[in-house]
């Protein structure tokens, strides 16, 4: 009997063994919970409530949840086709937004020269605002129905808005067509791409997001050159139509390739679902930091050509400043993604946020010639490009992947107000003058504040441990 008792002590029953294993695994999970996404709710439930029958237990132990990191392909033809489709989506949406400086310059000097720079900037600011503001609606529709119908409707509205811009002559017409209709379509294209790619990648997520986001950089290179070279040859109306047809072709590819790995999970619309994530300190600080950065991040995109001309740069050379900025951001959206997966996504984004803020104040502000502003355009393109590609990856890291659509919508809807106000404030600071000092200081300060808040966001995960990957 004593021997039997010893055996019972030495070999605990299955439930005791499971409890001991769970307690050991929880201590390990606590260490990793700050650096990996919370994506395994079903798996945790299975561990806490094991099946009583042996056959059922054996069967359940071999089933891998769709939310388990092991079930993410992290590569393969289907996954990379989704990334390619997302690349096309961002080329057409964010890439088009990245060339707003071309239209600020063109409208201000030709079609709408009777209006102040601040008034003209409302057109391009509305583009950014409307694209991001649609986040909650697009995110909820994505979670409920998947990406297919969003992409179809978004493709139509984006192309239709640009076609209507080609026949616009009055300020209100540009507001309605280019400032509202087109970016609503771009929003319905942008968010499904972000959310769909997140379902296919886990360990290589930042790299996948970086490759996808480089589409916006390439669009930002091609569209300014295309628009500026075609307007003198075929006129503004046909230039807009050519751009719209290019976007249409790429969005056809996107509609055929962008798919979610997970089936839709319809739920009733609830405003609380969008507000609830703000109760998490990490999410709230991430959103606040992004809000401040979006106040300043588009100011160089909008005013760098005008500031170059004010410094004596020829119009021909200044026309390529946006192309240089966006070309550099191709590397800024891919290389930091790879480094983020290797050394920590929050680590990389914090460093590059401070880098971008510093060069605005230390390089663009004192620039007094063509060479410094060209160097600034390249360096800022790299730094700001990293921010655009890394924010969705950082957000996915601290989120349940099943709620990624709603959480993407929440953060981008909030930052849309900063994107709306940033350029008009900069335009008001510029006035009718040619000194960009106040504009540059404003952009640099709000970017620096945002960078500091991102540092605090990192601290909520691992406190002030410098060498920790997060």
Mean pLDDT score of the chain: 82
Q: Choose among 182, 224, 194: nearest CA to 327.
A: 224
Closest CA to 258 of 81, 77, 74, 91: 81
Instruction: Identify the CA nearest to 387 among candidates 94, 28, 87.
Output: 94
Task: Return the closest-CA partner of residue 392 out of 247, 150, 129, 207.
Answer: 207
pLDDT over threshold 80, residue 336: yes
Burial of residue 65, with CB atoms counted within 10 A of its CB: 0-12 exposed, 13-18 middle, 19 or more buried: middle
pLDDT value of residue 155: 96
Burial 272-284 (b: 16+ CB within 10 A, else e): ebbeebeeeebbe
Q: What percent of the chain has pLDDT over 90?
A: 34
Residue 343 pLDDT greater than 70, yes or no: yes
Rounded distance, CA 103 to CA 96, Å?
Answer: 11
Q: Please report the pLDDT score of residue 6 as a whole number.
A: 45
The percent of the chain in helix, strand and coil, each rounded to the nearest 5, is 80, 0, 20
pLDDT score for 66: 55
Q: Per-residue confidence at 465, pLDDT binned at 50, 70, 90? A: confident
| pTM of the shown model | 0.73
The answer to which of 7-16, 172-181, 235-244, 297-306 has the lowest mean pLDDT is 7-16
CA 118 to chain centre: 26
Token match 């976007």: residue? Answer: 247
- For residues 149-167, average pLDDT: 95
Q: Secondary structure of 276-311 in the HEC alphabet?
A: HHHHCHHHHHHHHHHHHHHHHCCHHHHHHHHHHHHC
Give pLDDT, residue 289: 95
Q: What is the DSSP string of 184-234?
A: HHHHHHHHHHHHHHHTT-STTHHHHHHHHHHHHHHHHHHHHHHHHHHHHHH
Residue 219 CB partners (closer than 8 Å, separation 6+)? 90, 91, 92, 94, 95, 96, 98, 99, 326
For residues 296 and 300, give the distance between their C-alpha atoms in angstroms, rounded to a whole number. Answer: 8
Would the CA dihedral through 323, 324, 325, 330 be positive or negative? positive
Residue 134 tokens, joined: 């649609």
Question: Looking at residues 169-174, what average pLDDT do you find?
Answer: 92
What span, in angstroms and rounded, lies between the C-alpha atoms of 305 and 374?
A: 10
- Residue 18 confidence (pLDDT) above 70: no
What integer pLDDT is reported at residue 49 of this predicted model? 42
Per-residue pLDDT at 463 exceeds 60: yes
- In this prediction, residue 30 carries a pLDDT of 45
In the numeric block, the tokens 């003209």 are attached to 120
pLDDT of residue 54: 40
Q: Could you report how far apart the first and last alpha carbons of the chain are, in Å?
A: 53
Does position 351 have pLDDT exceeding 80, yes or no?
yes
Residue 48 has pLDDT above 90, yes or no: no
Q: What pLDDT sits at residue 84?
A: 94
Percent of the chain at pLDDT > 70 equals 85
212-230 per-position pLDDT tens digit: 988 888 898 899 889 988 9
The DSSP code sequence of 343-379 is: H-HHHHHHHHHHHHHHHIIIIITT--SHHHHHHHHHH
The predicted-structure confidence for 51-94, as pLDDT tens digits, reads as follows 443 444 344 444 555 555 666 777 788 889 999 999 999 999 98
Rounded to an integer, the average pLDDT of 189-209 is: 85
Which residues, 6 or more positions from 463, have their beta carbon under 8 angstroms from its beta carbon?
Answer: none
Q: Are 328 and 379 in contact (CB under 8 A)?
A: yes
pLDDT above 80 (res 41): no
Could you read off the pLDDT of 98-126 as tens digits, one per residue? 787 788 888 888 888 888 888 888 888 88
pLDDT at 421: 86
Give me the mean pLDDT over the 318-326 stretch.
85
**How is residue 400 written in tokens?**
């349940």
pLDDT at position 379: 95
Least confident of 16-25, 283-292, 302-311, 422-431: 16-25
- Going by C-alpha positions, the residue among 346, 326, 355, 115 that lies closest to residue 226 is 326
């Amino acid at each position: 009997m004593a021997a039997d008792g010893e055996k019972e002590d030495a070999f605990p029953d299955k439930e005791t063994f499971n409890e001991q294993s769970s307690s050991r695994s929880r201590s390990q999970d606590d260490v990793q919970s700050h650096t990996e996404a919370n994506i395994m709710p079903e798996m945790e439930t299975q561990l806490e409530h094991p099946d009583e029958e042996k056959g059922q237990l054996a069967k359940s132990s071999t089933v891998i949840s769709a939310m388990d990191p092991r079930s993410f392909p992290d590569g393969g033809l289907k996954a990379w086709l989704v990334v390619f489709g997302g690349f096309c989506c961002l080329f057409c949406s964010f890439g088009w937004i990245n060339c707003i400086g071309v239209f600020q310059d063109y409208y201000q000097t030709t079609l709408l020269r009777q209006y102040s720079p601040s008034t003209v900037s409302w057109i391009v600011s509305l583009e950014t605002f409307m694209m991001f503001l649609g986040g909650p609606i697009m995110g909820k529709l994505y979670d409920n129905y998947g990406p297919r119908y969003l992409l179809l409707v978004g493709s139509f509205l984006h192309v239709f808005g640009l076609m209507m811009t080609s026949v616009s002559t009055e300020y209100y017409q540009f507001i309605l067509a280019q400032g509202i209709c087109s970016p609503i379509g771009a929003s319905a294209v942008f968010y499904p791409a972000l959310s769909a790619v997140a379902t296919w990648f886990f360990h290589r997520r930042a790299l996948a997001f970086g490759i996808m986001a480089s589409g916006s950089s390439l669009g930002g290179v091609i569209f300014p050159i295309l628009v500026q070279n075609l307007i003198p040859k075929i006129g503004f109306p046909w230039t807009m139509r050519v751009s719209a047809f290019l976007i249409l072709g790429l969005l056809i590819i996107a509609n055929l390739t962008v798919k979610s790995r997970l089936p839709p999970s319809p739920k009733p619309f609830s405003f609380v679902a969008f507000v609830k994530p703000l109760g998490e300190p990490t999410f709230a600080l991430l959103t606040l930091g992004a809000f401040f950065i979006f106040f300043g991040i588009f100011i160089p995109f909008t005013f760098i050509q005008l500031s170059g001309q004010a410094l004596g740069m020829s119009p021909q050379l200044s026309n390529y400043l946006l192309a240089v900025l966006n070309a550099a951001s191709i590397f800024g959206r891919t290389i930091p993604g790879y480094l983020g997966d290797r050394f920590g996504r929050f680590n990389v984004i914090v460093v590059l946020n401070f880098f971008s803020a510093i060069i605005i104040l230390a390089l663009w502000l004192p620039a007094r010639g063509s060479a410094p502003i060209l160097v600034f355009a390249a360096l800022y393109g790299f730094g700001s490009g990293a921010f655009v590609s890394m924010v969705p990856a950082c957000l996915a890291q601290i989120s349940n992947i099943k709620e990624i659509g709603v959480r993407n919508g929440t953060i981008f809807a909030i930052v849309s107000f900063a994107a709306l106000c940033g350029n008009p404030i900069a335009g008001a600071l510029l006035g009718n003058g040619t000194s960009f000092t106040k504009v540059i200081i404003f952009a640099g300060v709000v970017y620096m504040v945002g960078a500091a808040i991102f540092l605090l966001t990192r601290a909520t995960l691992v406190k002030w441990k410098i060498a920790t990957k997060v």
